[in-house]
Structure 1
Amino acid sequence: MAQSGEAPEPSSVHEVFRNPGYLRLLLLSAVVGIPVSLIAFGFVALQHEMQHGVWVSLPHALGWPAAPWWWPLPCLTLGGLLVAWCVVALPGHGGHVPAEGFGGAPTLPSYLPGVVLAALAGLSLGAVLGPEAPLMALGSGLALMSVRSARRAATPRLVPVLGAAGSAAAISTILGSPLVAAVLMIEVAGVGAPQLYVVILPSLLASGVGALVFTGFGHWTGLQVGSLALPLSGHTQPLDAADLLWGVALAAVTALLTAGVMVLARHAAVWTRRRTLERTVLCGLAVGVCAACYALAADRPPDDVALSGQETLATLAMDPHSWPVSTLLLLLLFKGVGWAISLGSFRGGPIFPSVLIGAVLGVACAGLPGFGALPAMAAGLTASSTAALRLPISAVVLAALLLGKTGVDQIPLVVIAAVVSFVVGELLRGRAPAPADAAPRSPQPGRTARTEQ
């Protein structure tokens, strides 16, 4: 039932579009998207330049060809100090704590200075996080600035809708596709959840299995049945039965490991909630120790562990066979621990580290009998991003974007890996006890909250 003073819920899509207020909202969203995207681009460019200056230009200026093994120790300690100051001294506590899950309520404009400063400090100095969550907060805050606070108070539904539009405009700049941003916002908003997953998971699983059977019989028998696929150039690697079996097992193991990271992250978030200043600095130092230990043990650059992992992922995907399994396991261990600590103490997003960890685990398993490197990487990165974000549809779309033309044949395995990872992750999450003194997560306006255990 509609509250007093609010318009009743529309009964059809046609009725929605006949509402002049909604059409004005569409126009406002289009107009707001332009400055939001420009400012988001400036934020990403500034963060990249600061990060390059700290990890590349400054070591070169001091006479080192690359950042030495100990470089993360002072950088991340300083990063922890700056982020802690933003959390305790500025409105908004530096933004959303990434260990509490992806998304969050729309960001008030007064919170934007703390969000931007905390993100720039942490991400540039080596936090194992990506810029997507601060971008979403920046986009929603800027969008809400476009309307007066009195109008926002008089129209409660305007806040989540316009905030989501601003977030989508901002995050599309880093994800490289408005389609990924749109699907991500649909799942983050929880439209129809949990009914959405009741319907979509069986459909995803059936479609993935059906595509495998259809493609497999065509590949094995040589019979042609026609396809809507365009004849694009690029080498592809057809799936076989071994890829499917190993991929399902890999997705389950990846979900288990990612769930462990998330449990550690929530404990870190609870621990830093008290005595935030000194404990966040200690967390930064701990992440720096992880990066330094990896650099010493693997004889690799420490920024493989520090930072979001976007550049390391590109290096890994370019030549996965050049990475020894021992190096991959060291990266998995130290990156995973550093990621968990960063999720609970710094400010940023979980997408890029989760994708890298899943890809690393997949490549490490690519030596199993009959398991190809490309299917292993596809299954691993999909499973890890699904378990971390709890957004299986977004993880599938993101994986398809990352794999590109050469990964078209991997999409059925991607879909199945997402379903397996999501189911395993949710079952584990239902059994895991909540950390002591954990504060309940407030649902977004207009969203059906999913219980965080």
Structure 2
Amino acid sequence: MTDEAAPPRPSPSRATPARTLLPLFLPSVAVGVVASLVLVGVSELAGQLKDVLWTTLPDALGIGGFSSLWMIVMLTTTGVLVGLVVWKAPGHAGPDPATLGLQASPMAPVVMPGLLVATALMLAGGPSLGPENPIIAVNVALAFWAGRRFAPTAPGELWVTLAESATIGALFGTPVAAALVISEALAGRKVKGMLWDNLFAPLTAAAVGSMTTTLIGQPSFDLHLPPFGQPGWTDVLAALVVASAAALLGMAAVRAFPYVHAVFRWLRHPMLALPAGGLVLGLLGCLGGSLTLFKGLEEVGELARDPDGWSAGRFALMAVVKLAALVVAASCGFRGGRIFPAVFVGASFGLCAHALVSSVPASVGLAAGVLGTLLAITRQGWVSLFTAAVLVSSPSIIALLCIASLPAWLLVTGRPQMQLRPDGTSVR
């Protein structure tokens, strides 16, 4: 019998002293507050403008706010206005949004005003995009500029991480989403040290950002769906099927994304591409109805208030139209993110499954649909699980979603993402 040397065990991670972490507290608090105020300010401005454009103005003209004519006019006009900003604003309101994800690189401060104006116009005008990507980009630029000015010895990556965490916390109204995203990013970078030491500053920024948003805006993701009790075998099967089917639907959009982007890129000028995109979005709005406009979160709440109020065909139509609108809006140059419209697509798809098969609970169908769609569109596993779970607010749904995420992830991993390189090819 021979003795074999045991393989060396990895040395335990060394904890960071408290005196090293404590100086990060106040900068993290400041970044969290500012990031939340930027988000709330842009959202509030966009909300006020939305009321004027879609209620006050059409009422004064004696036109239905969501008539087909008004949707076409408003979406096309929004394309013209955003096109002017992208054309004339310093920095052209940032890089092509089709090339951006949740992680942002610091941009010059001169770009921020144009990007904020383009984002507010987009949110008010009706394109199917959310505020997350441009707000993260603005907050990263602000934090990086302030950090380099007032703490030049601190690493620049610190300010980027703090701003991303704070904005995600503010967007979702909870620091948990930011902690999950940052943990995933840290694992990908193989950062040394204990996890909670690395999370101390980002989690502080996210917690302050989420609390500030909660105190000012009182956001809520709970859709108040019918309560979901103890899951059964049929619920497991339903979650597996719906999440996988939703992932396949999302991947169809991902596959189409570079081709649609190439069509609008062929137009070359933002004053051609954005108005053309706005016109297409207006026509899609006429087809899918007013619920398929805007970022989609409030509209998901309207679906959830009466999950049996539409037929399976209507739910399917809204899911497909919203997904097409998301692809067009992200391709033609509107500044915005893809998480919230993808939530609407997944919710519509899941409620379609509920309408088709009454034994599929609305909560299970909606959550599984959101999970599968987000996995395909964002490729962010933790964000997808968290968003799907928080919409239902039922502890028993979490185990179902974890199981359903496994085959859905196998369908999307290693395949093209809904993000392009500067040359127009898909990121993998």
Question: Which TM-score applies when normalising by structure 2?
Answer: 0.80
Q: 1:354 is aligned with what amino acid?
A: A
1:140 alignment partner, SS class: helix
Task: Show the counterpart of 2:132.
Answer: 132
Over residues 360-392 of structure 1, what are the superposed CA-to-partner deviations in whole Å (9 max), with x where a residue is unaligned? 111111132632222111111111112211111
Over residues 266-313 of structure 1, what are the superposed CA-to-partner deviations in whole Å (9 max), with x where a residue is unaligned? 333344345132122211111111101233xxxxxx2x1221111220
Q: Which of these residues, 223, 236, 239, is aligned with residue 247 of structure 1?
A: 239
Report deviation, 1:321. 0.7
The question of 1:100 aligning with 2:99 is answered: yes
Q: 1:436–1:132: structure 2 CA closer, same or farther, 3 Å change rule?
A: closer
The question of 1:192 aligning with 2:187 is answered: yes
Task: Show the counterpart of 1:182.
Answer: 179
Q: 2:379 is aligned with what amino acid?
A: R
Structure 2 CA distance, aligned partners of 1:92 and 1:436? 19
1:106–1:160: 8 Å Cα contact kept in structure 2? no
Task: Show the counterpart of 1:280.
Answer: 274
Task: Show the counterpart of 1:78.
Answer: 77
Over residues 313-361 of structure 1, what are the superposed CA-to-partner deviations in whole Å (9 max), with x where a residue is unaligned? 0011111111111211221222111111011121111111111111111
Q: 2:374 is aligned with what amino acid?
A: S
Q: Which of these residues, 433, 438, 449, is aligned with residue 423 of structure 2?
A: 438
Q: 1:291 is aligned with what amino acid?
A: G
The question of 1:353 aligning with 2:345 is answered: no
Q: 2:121 is aligned with what amino acid?
A: A
| 1:42-441 paired onto structure 2 within 5 Å | 42-64=41-63, 66-95=65-94, 97-100=96-99, 102-108=101-107, 109-148=109-148, 158-187=155-184, 190-193=185-188, 235-274=227-266, 275-277=268-270, 278-295=272-289, 302=290, 304-345=291-332, 346-366=334-354, 367-368=356-357, 370-404=359-393, 407-429=394-416, 438-439=423-424
Aligned alpha-carbon RMSD (Å)? 2.9
Q: 1:98–1:362: structure 2 CA closer, same or farther, 3 Å change rule?
A: farther
Structure 2 CA distance, aligned partners of 1:178 and 1:290? 35
Structure 2 CA distance, aligned partners of 1:27 and 1:281? 44
Report deviation, 1:239. 1.8
Q: 1:163–1:321: structure 2 CA closer, same or farther, 3 Å change rule?
A: same
Structure 2 CA distance, aligned partners of 1:25 and 1:267? 45
1:103 alignment partner, SS class: coil
Unaligned 5+ runs, structure 2: 1-11, 192-225
Report deviation, 1:96. 5.3
Q: 1:150–1:93: structure 2 CA closer, same or farther, 3 Å change rule?
A: farther
Q: 1:359–1:70: structure 2 CA closer, same or farther, 3 Å change rule?
A: same
Report deviation, 1:91. 4.0
Task: Show the counterpart of 1:27.
Answer: 26
1:141 alignment partner, SS class: helix
Report deviation, 1:248. 1.1
Report deviation, 1:422. 2.2
Structure 1 CA distance, aligned partners of 2:65 and 2:395? 37
Q: 2:269 is aligned with what amino acid?
A: T
Percentage identity across paired residues of the two chains? 26
Report deviation, 1:416. 2.1
Report deviation, 1:192. 2.1
Structure 2 CA distance, aligned partners of 1:96 and 1:378? 33
1:40–1:138: 8 Å Cα contact kept in structure 2? no
2:187 alignment partner, SS class: coil
2:147–2:156: 8 Å Cα contact kept in structure 1? no
Structure 1 CA distance, aligned partners of 2:170 and 2:320? 30
Q: 1:51–1:160: structure 2 CA closer, same or farther, 3 Å change rule?
A: farther
1:384–1:421: 8 Å Cα contact kept in structure 2? no
1:354 alignment partner, SS class: helix
Report deviation, 1:151. 6.2
2:338–2:377: 8 Å Cα contact kept in structure 1? yes
Report deviation, 1:171. 3.4
Point out the more displaced range, 100-109 or 387-396: 100-109
Structure 1 CA distance, aligned partners of 2:368 and 2:141? 35
Q: 1:194–1:245: structure 2 CA closer, same or farther, 3 Å change rule?
A: farther
Structure 2 CA distance, aligned partners of 1:159 and 1:271? 37
1:171 alignment partner, SS class: helix
Q: 1:94–1:270: structure 2 CA closer, same or farther, 3 Å change rule?
A: farther
2:188 alignment partner, SS class: coil
2:346–2:373: 8 Å Cα contact kept in structure 1? yes
Task: Show the counterpart of 2:215.
Answer: none
Point out the more displaced range, 245-254 or 265-274: 265-274
Matched residues, number: 378
Q: 1:393 is aligned with what amino acid?
A: W
Q: 2:277 is aligned with what amino acid?
A: C
